[in-house]
């Protein structure tokens, strides 16, 4: 979007994002879109706490960045909630508008009441709540009724073209020793309990398809500093890789950004097994690589891919998941017979980061 298409009061606003570019690609893509739209972007949560500059907007994504994922000297853990509250009030007193993109409904992993309170504080101070789907608005307002008084805006999750590479499928499969004739179902990401690896395996085992192949890639959830837990997870990975089924491959390791194109290009289908959740970047990643998606009907999942090739199932129901996989397998087999690929041109156009930024009401009061 060219900067001169913006309203006069929306030209060149200054936005402080409490994140920095990372391997994920989401934040860097958003920053680039903000800049293309003519805005000035300042990054990093340290600026949120210590800068004396007054931007037009603060854009918060994951509240954990302000209290858990950031090393801050001089602020005690027992004081962090009040410090965040005071800092938000300081910005509000200077007519800075707070934008909060709601990626999840509650803090990541196990969490304390203080962490829940910090989430509520961020929501309470926000002027604009950005959601990746309409269902998110409903779910957030059910938990936090005061969110009805905020400006709620739907901005669908953007693409992952920033790290996209088109690698021939044969080359990608050679890297992982996957036979070229297989129909590969990929489950990718940190293997956490709620992502339900057991259901993925159970659903896959119910498929009556000779060419089926399951590829699970991603490290186990960080066991923390417990040395025994680390050894246990490493042992599980070694066993899975050494004695795995000829129809399955397990790659339990942290996947660097430069390897992600190999994973996605090796696959035919992307499968998500979550029991619960609001959003998943894996859906947008799959669509970016023209891979159909099989996912549970939870949170924003189904709505996020309504314009893309997908099949959904009841969360936790392995038989329903197997039926959904079968539907997509039929489409993949048909494409392979005709030597065609799924066309994601429309999805990419609708999910561009420029359109994402266009939807955000960046109107400064200054």
The domain locations on the chain are 3-158+352-358, 161-349
Architecture in CATH of 161-349: 3-Layer(aba) Sandwich (3.40)
Q: Report the 10 Å Cβ neighbour count for 16.
A: 24
Residue with tokens 């119910």: 206
- Hey, what are 283's tokens? 């859906």
Helices (H), 77-206: 80-93, 113-125, 134-143, 169-176, 197-205
Q: Beta-strand (E) ranges in 94-247? A: 97-101, 128-131, 151-154, 183-188, 212-217
pTM over 0.85: yes
Do 161-349 and 3-158+352-358 fall under one CATH topology?
Answer: yes
- What pLDDT does residue 222 have? 56
CA 32 to mean position of chain CA atoms:
18
Output the tens digit of pLDDT for each of the chain's 366 residues.
Answer: 344 445 555 568 999 999 998 878 999 999 999 999 999 999 999 999 999 999 999 999 999 999 998 888 778 888 999 999 999 999 999 999 999 999 999 998 767 899 999 999 999 999 999 999 999 999 999 999 999 999 999 999 999 999 999 999 999 999 999 999 999 999 998 766 555 678 899 999 999 999 999 999 987 665 555 667 667 666 766 666 666 678 999 888 889 999 999 999 999 999 999 999 999 999 999 999 999 999 999 999 999 998 899 999 999 999 999 999 999 999 999 999 999 999 999 999 999 999 999 999 998 665
CATH 3.40.50.2000 is the classification of domain 3-158+352-358: yes
Cα distance between residue 253 and residue 273, in whole Å: 19
Q: Do residues 216 and 250 make contact, with C-beta atoms less than 8 angstroms apart?
A: yes
- What pLDDT does residue 4 have? 42
Kindly state the helix (H) or strand (E) to which residue 296 belongs, with its residue range.
strand 293-296
């Amino acid at each position: 979007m060219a900067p001169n298409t913006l309203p006069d009061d929306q030209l060149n606003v200054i936005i402080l994002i409490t994140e920095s570019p990372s391997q994920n690609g989401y934040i860097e893509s958003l920053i680039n879109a903000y800049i293309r739209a003519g805005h000035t972007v300042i990054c990093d949560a340290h600026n949120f706490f210590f800068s004396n500059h007054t931007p037009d907007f603060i854009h918060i994504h994951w509240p954990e960045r302000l209290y858990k994922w950031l090393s801050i000297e001089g602020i005690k853990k027992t004081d962090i909630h009040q410090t965040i509250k005071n800092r938000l009030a300081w910005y509000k007193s200077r007519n800075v508008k707070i934008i909060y993109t709601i990626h999840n409904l509650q803090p990541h992993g196990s969490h304390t009441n203080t962490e829940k309170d910090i989430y509520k504080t961020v929501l309470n101070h926000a002027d604009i709540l950005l959601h990746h789907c309409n269902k998110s608005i409903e779910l957030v307002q059910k938990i936090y009724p005061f969110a009805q008084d905020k400006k709620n805006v739907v901005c669908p999750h953007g693409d992952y073209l920033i790290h996209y590479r088109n690698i021939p499928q044969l080359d990608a499969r050679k890297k992982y020793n996957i036979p070229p004739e297989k129909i590969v179902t990929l489950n990718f990401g940190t293997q956490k309990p709620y992502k339900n690896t057991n259901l993925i395996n159970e659903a896959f085992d119910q498929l009556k398809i000779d060419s089926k192949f399951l590829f699970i890639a991603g490290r186990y959830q960080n066991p923390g500093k417990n040395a025994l837990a680390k050894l246990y997870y490493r042992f599980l990975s070694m066993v899975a890789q050494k004695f795995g089924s000829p129809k399955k491959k397990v790659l339990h390791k942290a996947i660097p950004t430069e390897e992600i194109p190999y994973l996605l290009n090796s696959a035919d289908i992307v499968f998500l097994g979550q029991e619960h959740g609001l959003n998943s970047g894996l859906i947008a990643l799959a669509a970016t690589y023209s891979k159909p998606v099989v996912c549970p009907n939870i949170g924003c999942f189904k709505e996020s891919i309504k314009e893309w090739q997908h099949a959904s199932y009841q969360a936790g129901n392995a038989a329903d998941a197997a039926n959904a996989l079968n539907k997509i397998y039929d489409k993949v087999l048909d494409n392979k017979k005709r030597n065609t690929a799924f066309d994601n041109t429309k999805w990419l156009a609708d999910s561009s980061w420029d359109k994402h930024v266009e939807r955000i009401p960046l109107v400064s009061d200054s």
